[in-house]
Each structure stands twice: as structure tokens, then as C-alpha cells.
Amino acid sequence: MANLSVNFAGLQLANPLIASAGPITANAEHIKKLEEAGIGAIVTKTGFTKKEYERWVGRSDIFPYKPAYKYMSLKDGTLLCLPTLSDVPVSETAKRIERMKRDLNIPIIASIMGLSLAGYRESARIVEDAGADAIELDLCCPLPEFTTLYRYAGQNASLDPKVYAQIIKCAKKAVSIPVGVKSTVSLYVSPRILNGLIRSKLANRLPDFLTVVGQLDQNPGVDLETLKPLIPHIPSFGWEGELHRLTYSALAVFSSALGTTNPALSASGGIRDYQGVVQAMALGATTVQFQTAILDKGPAVISKILKDLNSYLDARGLSRLDQIVGIGSKDCIPASVLGEFMLARDTLYGVLCAAVDAGLCTGCETCARVCTENAITVKDKKAVIEKAKCRACNLCVLKCPVKAISLDNIVELEKLMDKYKHSEKASALKGFMNKKKIGRIDALLFIRQMKKWGLV
């Protein structure tokens, strides 16, 4: 049997599976079932200080907070829901942590959110004093999305790199236990998060881990007969459970740009089985968080995943699960230079060109129908490509049902890819993030270089 243990931001876990912040970690009895099923660690339901709860909700009599009508749909592993606040303030979360530390033998990560830097500072100290092993700053919650009043709360904070870095610095300065940050990721938000992480590093306050969340809003549409919403009343829902490819994308972006240890990466969103765990870890995750899969299948799903992971590793002769962390992302062009590669790729126009193997071509005309450049005709039941028109976009290669089309001179593209995989800019960023401490001269030189590269 393989060794599934991992070191996650200084925490030793028996395995990389973590129960993420949410309803599955709000009840002591349910948490005990998760431990019995083999979970490696848990993240508590996100909490605020009582004062900031009251400010948000607008009244002082909100506890006990027991929201109803949360889940709208759970089909084929996809959950549509309305996010809710924690049922207790962080002072009560602290009491739960104290009990959990007595009753459980797994690390407890406390999730906190604030409406201000003071709120984060106070909450961080409260949960540390209660015995939390680490803190996860919730900068992904969509609850504040309909107001700009709370720029320090939830996903609003991820949109402003300066605020993002301020929150991390504030929490790191307040406590001595590991501090991570949880962020919803997308092609729009990821560059801002990267900028915020660079700012944090410049202040020597880089988070110990980054939890990337594959989550989007969704509306399931209308009934085609009645034209009424399939789920009435609510215009938009948190969409969870089938967004693993978004999570994989985020992992590849951050691990290719920053590496896998500074900060360590945790995957959250859409992963339901051992295959998802393996893929997430190969793309840079040290741990994988679960919520929807447990809501859908119960704690037993964790036991099955652990069993399947052991079988997978044994079949491949791997003795340790952490051996696979980041293997896949090493073959990616670092996200920090991907834009430059995409521009350089255009220099290959006229060098790359689609070519037809006449011996394989059946004259089906699929390539001619899909070509956007009108570069392909079919003569005597064979495709013919006009090189002067071909942009080497690769569409005909993908569409050919008999694999009769390929790109000539593809080796030139491979050379360009290899150049950017080992670019000076990408190496400099990774080296900077892995430095133990950033001095004043280091910071000045690096800021100058980052401005030149457009990263800060």
C-alpha cells in the first residue's frame, strides 16, 4: 500500500483529501463521520466577528442563524445553490474548534472572512487562540457580489491586487500559524490574483497556501414548452460539482507560473473521484478539497477515493502519492509568458502549413466545409490545400475523420514552445517567489523588472 501522506504548508496530513468550508463542516457529528471515512483535514464553515455580521445583515438579533431554502438542484453531480453565511460568529466557531481539537486527530483549518482589515485581524487571532492549525482567508465567497460596499469581503477582494495583498499581510502579521487564501479563479481574475501574490511576496507576507476554486454562477434556463424558468424565482445560482476543468486550468496557471510550494496549492471545485485527485495533483495541487461530492454521496465517497488512490499507485509502482505533484504542469508554458508565446506564434505564418496524405484522404470534404480561409478544395476525391491561403490554424487537422491532414514544419512550433517553457522571465518570477526573504534592493530591482514585463 502506497504512502498517501502530504506536507501541506507545514501541516502533516495522512492524505491530501480535505473537507472544504461549508455545510459539511458545520456540524460536529458530521465532521466525526468524515474523520472516520478517512478525511485528511477539515476547513470550518467561514465565520466573521459578531460586529461585522451585524453590520452586514443590518440587525443585531441574527443568531442562531439557520438559513432555509439553500439547495435548488442536485442532478448528475451538479449542485445549484444559494450561498449562505455561517450559522455562528467566529467567537462560536472558536468554541467548536476547541471541541474538535479534543475529539479529532486531524488538522483543523479555520475559514474566516471580514469586512475590514480589523475584522480579519481579530478573527485570525480568535481562531489561533482556539487551537486552529491553520487559517484559510475566504476571498472567494460570492455573497458580496451585488454590492461594492464591502471591498474587503469575499470575491470582491480578489478583484483588487492591493486589497488582496493587504488582507494577506494583515492576517500573516497577526498570527504565527500558516495562513492561506481561497480565491475563485477565471481568465479574468487569475492575473489579478497573481499580481496580489507578487505584492504579498514583496512585503515578505506570501500566503502559505492558495486554494483555487472552480466555481461559476449559472442559470439552468427555461422550459421550452412553458418558457418558464426551470428553477423559479432566483436569477442566478452558485454552480458547483462539474467544474473540474476550470479547477485544472487554475492549477496549471499558478503552478506553471509560480511552482508548487510558494505558495502550496489546494484544488477545490468539481473533483469527485480518484481520477480527479490524480489530475489535480499532477497539475500542481498538494491537497484536494471536497464539498459537493460529499453532499451528493455522503462521507463514504472519501473512503472509496482513498481506496482507489492506493490501487492506482500500486498498479504503477509508485510508493508515495506526493511524487506526482506538479508533474503535468512542468510540460506547460508558464502562464506568465503565455501571452508572449501567443504573439510569437504568429511569426510562424507561412512556415507552418496543412498538408494532405493523399493515400489516406477519402475525399469526404469535411475539411473543405469547415475551413474559414477557403484554402481547401476537393479534386478527384482528394483534398487539395492552397498554401498561400492556409493559416495553419489546425482546424482541418482536428476535423479530418481519417487523420489524413497534418501540419508541415510542426517542429518549428515545438521549438518555439520549448523556448517559452524555459524563458528568462518565467524563471525569474519563480526564483523570486522561492526566495526566503526579499530585501529592499531585491524588491526595487524586481519591481522594475515586473513593470517592464507588465506583471505589476
Task: Give pLDDT tens digits for 336-375.
Answer: 888 899 999 989 989 999 999 999 999 999 999 999 999 9
Same domain for 310 and 378? no
Mean pLDDT for the chain overall? 87
Same domain for 183 and 146? yes
Within a domain: residue 302? yes
Residue 215 banded pLDDT, cuts 50, 70, 90: low
Number of domains in the chain: 2
pLDDT of residue 223 exceeding 80, the answer is no
Greater confidence (419 vs 141) lies with: 419
pTM comes to 0.88
Q: Of 365, 383, 408, which one is at a domain's C-terminal end?
A: 408
Within a domain: residue 46? yes
pLDDT, position 417: 93
Within a domain: residue 161? yes
Within a domain: residue 439? no
Within a domain: residue 182? yes
Same domain for 357 and 325? no
pLDDT, position 141: 80
Is the C-alpha dihedral spanning 115, 116, 118, 120 positive or negative?
Answer: positive
**How confident is the model over 2-12, as a mean pLDDT?**
97
Torsions phi, psi for 356 (to 5 deg): -110, 135
Residue 244 banded pLDDT, cuts 50, 70, 90: confident
60 neighbors 89 (Cβ within 8 angstroms): no
Same domain for 281 and 399? no
pLDDT of residue 239 exceeding 80, the answer is no
pLDDT of residue 295 exceeding 70, the answer is yes
Same domain for 358 and 322? no
Within a domain: residue 222? yes
Residue 146 banded pLDDT, cuts 50, 70, 90: very low
pLDDT, position 8: 98
Domain ranges, residue 14:
6-332
Within a domain: residue 435? no
360 neighbors 403 (Cβ within 8 angstroms): yes
Same domain for 326 and 192? yes
Same domain for 141 and 254? yes
Within a domain: residue 201? yes
Q: Of 369, 388, 408, which one is at a domain's C-terminal end?
A: 408
Residue 240 banded pLDDT, cuts 50, 70, 90: very low
Same domain for 362 and 324? no
Greater confidence (154 vs 182) lies with: 182
Same domain for 371 and 301? no
**How confident is the model over 415-431, as a mean pLDDT?**
90
Collect all residues with Cβ–Cβ distance below 8 Å to 158 and sequence separation of at least 6. Answer: 139, 140, 164, 183, 184, 189, 192, 193, 196
CATH (domain of 386): 3.30.70.20
pLDDT of residue 312 exceeding 80, the answer is yes
